[in-house]
A and B are shown apart, each in its own frame.
Chain A
Amino acid sequence: MTATNTRERVAAALEGLTFELVDTRDGMLTLRVPSATVRTVLERLHGRAGFEQNTLVTAVDRFPEEPRFDVIWQFLSYDHNDRVRVETRISGANPSVPTCTDLWSGASFSERECFDMFGIRFDGHPDLRRLLMPQGYTHFPLRKDFPHGGIEPDRLYREWDAKRRAEWGANA
């Protein structure tokens, strides 16, 4: 299958929706879609275009531009042996996009990681907890305005330690 066929298949699947084809250096078919219709685009790619596997959900912080975040999905089709990338731009204030875990359940951890690192909420995700950073941490490390050395990385440890010592004092 050639890239032309991928493009035709995707264009047929997304009939009636607005999208923009972006030239990328790696040559992967890349669609830029408005954030309002991204959920419909993902459903069509899953159902009509036959992309069975989600390989990536991530984001790019364009700080200080506004809208601030590029959210990026990449999909793979086994039958057609091709890939597609979907990008959408969302606002930096309370950023959120619809989840795709009901379509590709494997996207769950990717979405959790993206939430953990960028603070982008995936609406409808069944279990949107932090994946890498400790639970209770309130900042998002991969945002561009996050300082290099972190914001109070020791806060949770110190809270835990103080609580533990208070318990020792009570038991002593």
Chain B
Amino acid sequence: MGSLKPADSEGLGFLATRVDELINWGRKNSLWPMPLGLSCCGIELMAMIGPKFDLARFGAEAARFSPRQCDLLVVAGTLTWKMAEAVRVIYDQMPDPKWVIAMGVCSSSGGMYDSYAVVQGVDSILPVDVYVPGCPPRPDAVIDAIIKLQKKIERESPVRRLLKGPGVIDETGTGRNFKQPNFAFDHSSLDLHPHDPKAKIEELQK
């Protein structure tokens, strides 16, 4: 924030700042999280919002179950490909500006689920701002992520973005940056997983 000028003799104070900083200050201190608890991380998320860890200290306690009222999507847990469409719709329904936290290793990278059913990191379908490691991460870790996100929001330029007009639909979320071992069964340099049957099949075909 800018400098606070002293009140004049008649008691009328004023605040000098930049519009960007004022908007960012408002945004970062009133994040409304969308609690998307997909597995065990959801329990830690509830603990974080609850009285003991008290997310209200950081202004982000107003969890709403409607994406229309939220600006922070917390993907808490294992995202499967079957659920991915729903998550993407939820993200699209959130009004701008919006941010995403990938909570836990499953949503950050697929975690231990190196599997055909699990999205190997939600960043292949969503733009992610902060990744939180842990299985599940402690509420402290997620609060740390929210503080990091607040620092990130401080650096944004909302006015410039406003003047630029509506953006084009980008390629984020088309699954183009999707990386998964073995995903192309016939030709891939990545399919050297120890459980991969390809080597055995080739051996049998000889």
Contacts and interface: CB of A to CB of B under 8 A. Distances in A.
Interface of A: 64, 133-134, 141, 144-154, 156-158, 160-162, 165, 168-169
Contacts, number: 83
Contact of B183 (A133, A141, A149, A165): A149
Interface of B: 81-82, 84-85, 88, 114-117, 119, 124-125, 169, 173-175, 178, 180-185, 190-191, 193, 195-198, 201, 204
19 contacts: A147-B182, A147-B185, A149-B116, A149-B182, A149-B183, A149-B190, A151-B116, A152-B185, A153-B81, A153-B117, A154-B124, A156-B81, A157-B84, A157-B85, A158-B174, A161-B88, A162-B174, A165-B169, A169-B169
B114 A134 contact: no
A161 B91 CA distance: 13
A156 B85 CA distance: 10
A154 B183 contact: yes
A134 B82 contact: yes
Given A149-B196, A157-B84, 18 more contacts: A64-B201, A134-B81, A141-B116, A144-B197, A148-B116, A148-B181, A149-B183, A149-B190, A150-B115, A150-B182, A151-B185, A152-B184, A154-B81, A154-B178, A157-B85, A157-B125, A157-B175, A169-B169
